Amino acid sequence: MIKTDILIIGAGPTGLFTVFEAGLLKLKTHLIDALPQPGGQCAEIYPKKPIYDIPGFPEILAGELVDNLMEQIKPFNPGFTLGERAETIEKLEDDTFLVTTNKGTQHNAPVVAIAGGLGSFEPRKPPIPNITDFEDKGVAYIIRDPEVYRDKRVVIAGGGDSALDWTIFLADVASEVTLVHRRNEFRGALDSVERVAELTKLGKVNLITEAEVKEIKGDDHVTGVGIKHKTEGDINVDTDYFIPLFGLSPKLGPIADWGLEIEKNAIKVDNSYDYQTNIPGIYAIGDVNTYKGKLKLILSGFHEAAIMCQSAYQRIFPDKKYVMKYTTVGGVEGFDGTKKEAKKEVVKAII
């Protein structure tokens, strides 16, 4: 069983920044996320899209923001349970919580912070009649290990950043990469679109636009796909893997059954104090929560994380009083022994 001070459900930007705020209070953290890597939507859906409302950054790519947050929390050694979904929660006799994932991993903490963004993510599946028959048999909605596709034939469907980025990446891994998109225009970053066009000219990518995959062929494993082209009719492409990348659909998932007060698919919290839910010890921060005047912005989630951690400290240590110190004064002392602080200026007395 994994024990920690604050169990954070969701490893998006708000969840990651919670690690930093908790670390300043000497509180240990562990994060659970259904995605295979930290970063939430910023890492999974639009890593190359610019964000313009992060204080101090006139412009920063979503993926770079995640990288910066990971670097910022490194001194506090957070734990991660990735690729698993928080499934059940149980209040124990010692007033702590037991959270179990869909894979049976158990976590115990006196405080649970739900920072699940818009909830857990489920892939948007294309309307292909037999697609579920080939899941884990050549059909994948998320690429977890690119080496699986080493020297294999791959067909990717989609027109966003994820489809473009993986097409570019797998062009140097797979033996053959085909990208299918129903339009001529793409929704991804311009440099990615240009790179795919360049790889197409070099013969490293087979680009089929104004077309959709309508059929998956094979017995125990994918052997090909049937494509409906706008002008050329039916096209058959032999392949070992079919990867439709149409984004992820957010859902509260099992959290909706935890006895929390839900309003419009979000968790109601007390924003006048600490973003606590109707269950003491369980907080909700970031896009997953709702209250009067709520703004679904990353910077709002950062603010909520800071306030929540102060309340969590008082819950864990009710007999202690924490005196907040500005990082510009006290510095940042990591659990790994590192310390960042301003240089001390030597002031000489004037006689």
136 in the same domain as 208: yes
Please check whether residue 273 lies inside any domain of the structure. yes
266 in the same domain as 232: no
The answer to the question of whether 287 is labelled as a binding residue is: yes
The answer to the question of whether 46 is labelled as a binding residue is: yes
Q: Of the candidates 246, 268, 287, which is a domain's last residue?
A: 246
139 in the same domain as 113: no
SS3 197: helix
The answer to the question of whether 223 is labelled as a binding residue is: no
Q: Of the candidates 246, 272, 302, which is a domain's last residue?
A: 246
131 in the same domain as 235: yes
Residue 166, token pair as written in the block: 């993986």
The answer to the question of whether 157 is labelled as a binding residue is: no
223 in the same domain as 74: no
Task: Identify the domain containing residue 170 by its residue range.
Answer: 125-246
The answer to the question of whether 53 is labelled as a binding residue is: no
79 in the same domain as 49: yes
Instruction: Please report, in tens digits, the pLDDT of each residue of the chain (351 residues total).
Output: 999 999 999 999 999 999 999 999 999 999 999 888 899 878 876 777 788 889 999 999 889 999 999 999 999 999 999 989 999 999 999 999 999 999 999 999 999 999 987 666 678 899 999 999 999 899 999 887 789 999 999 999 999 988 999 999 999 999 999 999 999 999 888 899 999 999 999 999 999 999 999 999 999 999 999 999 999 999 999 999 999 999 877 678 889 899 999 998 899 998 778 999 999 999 999 999 999 999 999 999 999 999 999 999 999 999 988 777 778 777 888 888 888 887 766 666 665
The answer to the question of whether 41 is labelled as a binding residue is: yes
The answer to the question of whether 313 is labelled as a binding residue is: no
Please check whether residue 303 lies inside any domain of the structure. yes
157 in the same domain as 90: no
Specify the number of domains making up the chain: 2
The answer to the question of whether 275 is labelled as a binding residue is: no
Helices (DSSP H) in the chain: which residue ranges? 13-24, 40-44, 62-73, 161-170, 190-201, 298-316, 327-330
213 in the same domain as 199: yes
264 in the same domain as 117: yes
Distance CA(323)–CA(315), nearest Å, equals 15
Instruction: Give, in order, the Cα–Cα distances in Å from 208 to each of 152, 154, 193, 276.
Output: 19, 13, 14, 50
Please check whether residue 171 lies inside any domain of the structure. yes
Q: How many residues are there in the chain?
A: 351
Please check whether residue 345 lies inside any domain of the structure. no
